[in-house]
Structure 1
């Protein structure tokens, strides 16, 4: 495993963090076996950490017309377009686990148009990519194109919000030089024994 730092910014000692942040990091470590570098990097600025993860959780953990795997597809596709190594690797691992498919994250990261996804998911990613890279050109026609695939207004909002939120995340990860944890690379690729 790599001993490289989490990012360009010093990661605070977990035991020196405010209690709410320390508790969250320890819970993540308990569940996954490690602390993802995004948590360590963003803990450098506790108020921003709280705001970031509050919005992250509001988008990614709620009940929605989008499955949790579809939400991760949005993150992987848009993060690949934004050249964010951290988010492609970390959320690719989460996508593999949530989709129960060891191939899907790599397919989507390289070219979602050729991935083994449904027409509904392709339409979702087409829209997500437009929001991520060309939002000023989003029109009523783009929203109308989603209706035949069964997306509600709330679903469309979620697609856009996830795309926009991860554009922020991608830029912060790239600016900070955030490294994906080595553990992410193998997650969801092989069945658990």
Structure 2
């Protein structure tokens, strides 16, 4: 049960956005920019970073959501996402993604845990400064989102299909598109 009265009944961050709609737009703009804007990392790879950090933080709602969004956009689908969660080193992803996920895991532990050695290792795999920057910001943002969602004890559906249905909408219209749809329905 949530720590505060959320009247929409929507799970996770969606219920929080309904509770404080003035925070919804800037947070959705951030995630839209980080996870969907043009980038040399695919949308699926960036969603994978978000899902991985959420798994490390044990945020069930955010992991389930972003795992579904990553799976919908990555060859290998949910099986790949689960492989990454279980053992990044053995997962069938690029060495660059492994290096970036190592940076993301360090951010999850604390920003000062990102070392020059980790950054150099990522660069050796071909990671650009923008990719390193975005990985750090995605990881930091999802630590915030995870703590926001879990700190207020929001609900998280048990049914994986509920996340998969939303993934289809995220892939087709994005975070801002879904926000605008939700705002239009409530007005």
Q: TM-score range by the shorter chain?
A: 0.7 to 0.9
- Corresponding position of 2:73: 98
Question: Is 1:53 aligned with 2:28?
Answer: yes
Counterpart secondary structure, 1:102? helix
- Corresponding position of 1:172: 148
CA-to-partner distance for each residue in 1:27-82, whole Å, 9 max, x for gaps?
xxxxxxxx764222222111222221111111111111111111111111111111
Pick the structure with greater CA Rg: 1
The whole-number CA distance in structure 1 between the counterparts of 2:91 and 2:111 is 24
Q: How does 1:1-193 map to 2 (within 5 A)?
A: 7-13=2-8, 37-100=12-75, 101-181=77-157, 182=159, 183-184=161-162
TM-score by length of 2: 0.77
CA-to-partner distance for each residue in 1:154-180, whole Å, 9 max, x for gaps?
111100000000000010111122233
**Which 5+ residue runs of structure 2 have no aligned equivalent?**
168-187
**Which 5+ residue runs of structure 1 have no aligned equivalent?**
15-34, 189-193
TM-score by length of 1: 0.75
- RMSD across aligned C-alpha pairs, in angstroms? 2.3
Question: What's the CA shift for 1:12?
Answer: 4.1
Q: Which one is further off, 163-172 or 176-185?
A: 176-185
CA-to-partner distance for each residue in 1:72-125, whole Å, 9 max, x for gaps?
111111111111111111111111111042301222223323322222211111
Pairs aligned (count) = 163
The whole-number CA distance in structure 2 between the counterparts of 1:137 and 1:186 is 33
